[in-house]
Structure 1
Amino acid sequence: MKKFLIRAILFSLLIIVSLVAIVVLVSPLVRGKNDYVAATIDKESRLHSLPSPKIIFVGGSNLAFGINSSAISKEFNYPVVNMSLHGGLGLSFMLNEALDGVKKSDIVLLSTEYYLDKPELKLLTQLMDANPNAKKYITLKPEELIPFYISDLQRCVTSSVKVIGKQFSDNIYIRNGFTVEGDLVSHLNKKNVPLVSPRLKEIDYTDDLQLINTFIDAVKKKGATVYYLFPTYQQSTFTLNKKVVTDFATLFHKNLKCPIINTPDTFVYNDSLYFNSEYHLNKQGREIRTQKLIEILGKTF
């Protein structure tokens, strides 16, 4: 039995080393400098270079697609950085990345998608390849290493096929589709994509809430302030999942260590105002939400 375990461990290490070697050799050849996740490079640069006090938006794509940071900056005379990108990067990454650049007197506005949890490994591989600095914000468990490198290998193969076939990413999910502040605007003049309302799954959120509260405590220790905002949500999806959303809100009101400055229905709009996801506002929806957000922040600051 002992020999078998040793052989299994050695075989696993061999697989990991082989996968890492392949990825290291292939990645530079297929790296997409304009990939969507490469926008984290620009967001991190702005976060660390802006003077304080500043407004920092932290969350998933509901913020990336759904606010006009320039309008908010003009209204309150604070520089703004929208750190938000994609919920698939996971709660831990987005909190760690933002916290690294928080300074005294900053205002952090946190708005996560409902039951945002673990990251998508393939997306993390894209991120860590496009932005090596992101590695310090990501922690992988031992049991995640082999799946992670398999995902990375798949990414390299897929990217290689695209390069050989001269196929490149679309003109929406791209690094240069963002404003200086970090808002995605490449979709604003596109037609809406037909949407189906997905059913929201309720999960045990104890560990995730602890992660968020640890982030809130760390922000406060830096002399900054953090507020929570429930995200924007398509009307039909909100109606379908109202009980789950209500349970989520109750959980947050009972446990969150920072003020919650809106309600789950604050940014719920007609389906026609969403572009290609229940969280992604189109041009008109983005402006409506921004004006409502400015109204809320005016009563908060």
Structure 2
Amino acid sequence: MKKFLLKCTLFATGIGTLFIILLIYKVSTENPFSVLFHLKNRQLVQLSNEPKMIIIGGSNARYGFDSRFLEKKLGRPVINAAITYHQGLAYYLEWSKKHLKAGDYVLLSPEYTLSSSREGLFGTHKLIDVAYQNKDFRNFLLSDSRILFNQLIQTHSIVNQSMESLLTNDPEKKELLASHNLHGDAINCIGKSKNFVPTKITIQKPDQQYFELLNEYAAFCRSKGVKVFISFPPARKKSVTMEIAPSAVVAQTKQKVSDFTVLNTPESALYPDRYFFDSSYHLNQDGKQLHTQQVYTNLQQILSKQNDPLLID
């Protein structure tokens, strides 16, 4: 009987693994952002032994930072690993872990959606939607095993590594790839797009699970000797509604995630219309330069106080 149950368990595990592989194969071939995941994963693998900075967030970070500027100023490689918020903050935090080494920096720039909604925390894809219905799923995600996310990440990486020609032969994916530089920054953001969509943004109280995820990540980074900085995202001032005082958001972040260094405030990252490209989170080239300089100035002051040896100026 025990052997029979063991066989059933192994069979079910195999079917589950196959399901995940097929699901992510489908996502990888249909979702144009998969080509960016592949590009950024490959870049991080190539820099695995160098002190570096990794930028993590949704598309606000992809449009919001000039990584070449930061690389020159910090004297270390900078990879903008941000893609889109749809994958969920938990996924990006877990994915980044395998690329982190002692001496690295992480710059987090999560959209407000990533801190205050289930979709933002755990993603919008169907597999997570189904699994989340289980009341124990949150604890499962936050447990040491993290079986599901590790399987997702490993499978996604394997699929992408074996599909480079397919990804880059698709016209939509080729166009998306061409619109980003080798650091991972979006570079097709000159002026204001004729397709500009004034997305509504609400600054609200962060979810408790958001702080749980960040604290777990902070503990991991501390154990690895990695410094983590958090920057509130750039946002179009006219699009923002505040359900909570920005000062309260800053205070909560500093209080509940003490291992992170906060680089700015929500108010300081609100910009006028002329700095946005095609949405209320996507800066154009001028906005990107302004926001990057602001964040770097604050980062420089902090690193100078810490006598960081890799800070150039």
Q: What SS is found at the alignment partner of 1:251? A: helix
Alpha carbons 2:246, 2:267 under 8 Å: kept? no
- Tell me the TM-score normalized by structure 2: 0.68
Please, what is the CA RMSD of the aligned residues? 3.4
Kindly report which structure 2 residues correspond to 1:29-40, keeping only aligned pairs within 5 A, or say none: 31=29, 35-40=32-37
**What pairs up with 1:238-249 in 2 under 5 angstroms?**
238=240, 240-241=241-242, 243=244, 245-249=246-250
- Show the counterpart of 1:86: 84
CA apart distance, 1:177: 2.3
Contact 1:66 1:286 in 2 (8 A): yes
Contact 2:231 2:295 in 1 (8 A): no
Match of 1:210 in 2: 212
Question: Which residue of structure 2 lines up, in the alignment, with residue 227 of structure 1?
Answer: 229
**Number of residue pairs matched by the alignment:** 246
Match of 1:169, SS state, is: helix
- Local SS of the residue matching 2:244: helix
Indicate the residue corresponding to 2:182 in structure 1: 180
The question of whether the paired residues in 2 share the 8 Å contact of 1:56 and 1:81 is answered with yes
What does residue 296 of structure 2 align with? 294
Alignment counterpart, residue 108 of structure 1, candidates 85, 106, 109: 106
8 Å CA contact retained: 2:51, 2:102: yes
CA contact (8 A) 2:179 2:187 kept: yes
Cα displacement string for residues 194-235 of structure 1 (whole angstroms, at most 9, x for unaligned residues): 443515274661112111111111011111111111111111
Instruction: State the AA in 2 paired with 1:120.
Output: T
Q: Which amino acid aligns with 1:169?
A: E
Q: Using a 3 Å threshold, how does the CA distance of structure 1 residues 47 and 196 change in structure 2: closer, same or farther? A: same
Task: State yes or no: 1:136 paired with 2:159.
Answer: no
How many Å separate the matches in 1 of 2:126 and 2:191?
A: 29
Whether contact under 8 Å (1:234, 1:269) holds in the other structure is yes
* Deviation, structure 1 residue 111: 1.3
Query: If the length of structure 1 is used for normalisation, what is the TM-score?
Result: 0.70
Where structure 2 has 5 or more consecutive residues not aligned to the other structure, the ranges are 1-11, 115-120, 130-147, 154-169, 304-313
Match of 1:75 among 73, 76, 86: 73
Identity %: 24
Does the 8 Å contact 2:203/2:243 carry over to 1?
no
SS at match of 2:112: coil
C-alpha spacing 1:203/1:241, structure 2 compared with 1 (3 Å): closer
Q: Give the CA deviation at 1:36.
A: 2.0
Alpha-carbon displacement from aligned partner over 1:107-149 (angstroms, at most 9, x marks no partner): 1111111141231116989xxxxxxxx963649xxxxxxxxxx
Contact between 2:205 and 2:243, CA under 8 Å: does it hold in 1? Answer: no
- Shift of the 249–115 alpha-carbon distance from structure 1 to 2, 3 Å rule, reads farther
Structure 2 Cα separation of the partners of residues 170 and 278 of structure 1: 24
8 Å CA contact 1:64, 1:82 repeated in 2: yes
CA contact (8 A) 1:171 1:186 kept: no
SS in 2 for 1:65: helix
1:56-108 CA-partner distances (Å, limit 9, x unpaired): 11111111011110111112211111111111110111101111100011111
Q: Distance in 2 between matches of 1:76 and 1:202?
A: 33
Could you tell me which residue of structure 2 aligns to residue 147 of structure 1? none
Question: How many Å separate the matches in 1 of 2:195 and 2:290?
Answer: 19
SS at match of 2:86: helix
